[in-house]
A and B are shown apart, each in its own frame.
Chain A
Amino acid sequence: MSLWFTVLAACALAFLTKLAGHYVPSAKLEGRRMRRVTALLPVALLTSLVVIQTFAASGGGFTVDARIVGLAAAVIALLLRAPFIVVVIIGAAVAAGLRALGWN
């Protein structure tokens, strides 16, 4: 599957999902439990992505490197109510700084 096809297929599905919400009558809203599941879905996926993005090694498996310190700095920034872009920059800067000092 070419990367362009993957990109465009994902874009099409994202648009169709949005469009479906505009066309489905609101009376058709699923039950309370299903709504709870869909509300929690981003939490589950984003949490997993944090873990993967922090620990995944390029050759498979997990590894500990400068990313974990970058993540910790990002969390501290969030606790201090820093805006999104600042959090991202701090995460990158801390990891880049450690690597510049020779810790991978």
Chain B
Amino acid sequence: MREEAGKEGAEASGQRPGDLDPATRTSVLRQAWSVGIATGAYGISFGALGVASGLSVAQTCALSLLMFTGGSQFAFVGVIGAGGTGVAAIATATLLGIRNGLYGLQVSEFLHDRGWRRGVAAHLTIDESTAVGIAQPTVRASQLGFWQTGIAVFVFWNLFTLLGAWLGNALGDPRRWGLDAAAAAAFVALLWPRLHSRDAAATAVVAVVLTVAVAPWAPAGIPVLIAAFAAVAVGLWPRAAARDDDSTGGEVAP
């Protein structure tokens, strides 16, 4: 569906869109920056939760700058805040980040950057930049969509993280402001758009069972890792070839 051939000069990233017609360019830019602002805005909740979980303002901001993948960041501070070990926090965040690797496979088909630009592109490879990028009709528009969305989310996500961390620090006791419930709400909001297939629903049910079974005796952080086996069990479950739900979804989550 995307015209791959005859796109000479595809080296140029979205920042130099070349021959893209003005109407398409405007539409891609509008899409990219509205997604960027909307997504970036809830960096404020990440910032507040980060300091509520015991991280410093600098550590919270470092996660947004350097990890830059919302789901993993929320999971990391969630495990740390619950008293989990560093290893459990790292493992949970990394498992949640695996999908970014799969996005990298997809977007590298239309991004033809080399050298340091490829490294930057990799850093900006998240749900939103991938979703906007692959939704475009041409390679040029895809490149523009990916880069502009990635940059827009990066700018706003980090600004709002700083604001949230600073506010969270000033607020004092996080429980009084319901910040612990905010974390639960954030996770359920991240989960919501991914629950549209039967496989996903089955995985969620198994994950609940595993978590409830393990949590009473396992150290903090471990139940989440054990719940990962729900994905393995459902994903490898033998099934008729006809029923092959698409459970990737989640393109609106960070």
Contacts and interface: CB of A to CB of B under 8 A. Distances in A.
A61 interface: yes
Contact of B76 (A10, A38, A40, A56): A10
A16 to B, nearest CB: 9
Interface string B216-252: 1000100110011111101110000000001110100
Contacts of B108: 21-23, 26
A18 B100 CA distance: 5
B82 A43 contact: no
Contacts of B183: 53
A3 B38 contact: no
Q: How large is the interface on A (under 10, 10 to 19, 20 to 34, 35 or more residues)?
A: 35 or more
A22 B78 contact: no
Given A38-B235, A44-B207, 18 more contacts: A4-B59, A7-B55, A11-B66, A18-B122, A19-B122, A20-B104, A39-B235, A45-B96, A47-B207, A47-B211, A48-B207, A51-B223, A58-B83, A61-B216, A66-B181, A67-B180, A90-B185, A96-B177
Given A48-B223, A71-B188, A41 B176 contact: no
Interface in A27-64: 29, 33-56, 58, 60-62
Contacts of A51: 207-208, 211-212, 215, 223
A17 B100 contact: yes
A7 to B, nearest CB: 5
Given A3-B59, A14-B94, A67-B181, A52 B188 contact: no
B178 A42 contact: no
B92 interface: yes
B185 to A, nearest CB: 3
B101 A21 contact: yes
Contacts of B104: 18-22, 24
Interface residues on B, range: 35 or more
B94 A42 contact: no
Contact of B195 (A11, A43, A84, A88): A43
B2 interface: no
B25 interface: no
B203 interface: yes
Contacts of B102: 21, 35, 38-39
A42 B207 contact: no
A46 B119 contact: no
A28 B55 CA distance: 39
B84 to A, nearest CB: 9
Nearest to B41: A85
Interface stretch (B10-18, B67-75, B133-141): B67-75
Given A14-B72, A22-B121, A9 B228 contact: no
A96 B186 CA distance: 16
Nearest to A28: B105
B166 interface: no
